[in-house]
Amino acid sequence: MLARGTEMLANALVAHSAVPAFATYNLEMVQAVTAAAEQTDRPVIMLAGASHFHHAGRSALISLALQAAHTSTAPVGVHLDHSRDLAEIEECTKAGYSSVMVDGSHLPFEDNIALTRAAVAIARPAGVWVEAELGAVSGDEDVSTDATPPQTMTHPVEAAEFVERTGVDALAVAVGNVHGLTSTPMYLDLQRLAAIQSAVPIPLVLHGASGLPHQQLSAAIDCGVAKVNINTELRQAYLAVVQKVLPEVLSTHDSVVLRRAGREAVTNAAVRSIHALTGNL
């Protein structure tokens, strides 16, 4: 079923857990994320967003994601991730997305507020909740490069003003997290994260959690993180099984076997992430 509203985030906060939000790029990944939600009977969010459209095409991925969510036996939200385009936000809102993320993190503070307010004005009347980002999470969400620590972290006082003036439903923060993997361990500024939690009345979102020690992730959840975006782990699982299976299928040209193996690997990776974020719930 398509999960609308912020109830799943509110429930996660109460349960000291987080909702996993999985990046999807094609049919197999959409199916894998849905299967993981059904196997674990846990709510998930499917990221069918701006950068993912570059691969699958906007209308095609929108249709795949929404169809999978509507027919799933588990609660599945469909989320537009990292959009800087108000027209794109409007299109996904009209298509039936449950949530959108407007990314003005690259803009000056006042411009970020203006863009975010415009996105809220588009989405809110349709019952679509809005996530925004304050602070800069470095790295590329689609390519696991050796990202460096963010230069601009989220300031608690600015976060409070930003949330009050924009009316967003969730806030993605920069507290030492980066997109993709790094050659050296990354550590979150948990003191800053706790201060942000105290300053804002809405759930927090963590992008770039790949490679974080489990203790760091658990501590972030205790500091109000109710949604964690997951991408690299799924791509790693898919590519690893492709590398393993490809030599076996080259002689038969059986690409279906390859795609099926990739889907199963992504499902298993998503299940592991769900368990890591929800514990024994």
Q: What residues are labeled active site?
A: 81
For 270-274, the CB contacts below 8 A with 24+ separation are 270/20, 270/22, 270/32, 270/33, 270/35, 270/36, 270/37, 270/44, 270/230, 270/234, 271/36, 271/39, 271/40, 272/233, 273/20, 273/22, 273/230, 273/233, 274/20, 274/36, 274/37, 274/40, 274/42, 274/44
Answer whether 141's CB lies under 8 Å from 82's CB.
Answer: yes
**CA 8 from chain center: how many Å?**
14
Given a contact cutoff of 8 angstroms between Cβ atoms, the answer to whether 76 and 44 are in contact is yes
Which secondary structure element, helix H or strand E, spans residue 130, and what is its range?
strand 129-134
Provide the 3-class DSSP secondary structure of residue 55: helix
Longest alpha-carbon distance in the chain: 61
Give the Cα-Cα-Cα angle 141, 206, 241 (nearest 5 degrees).
50
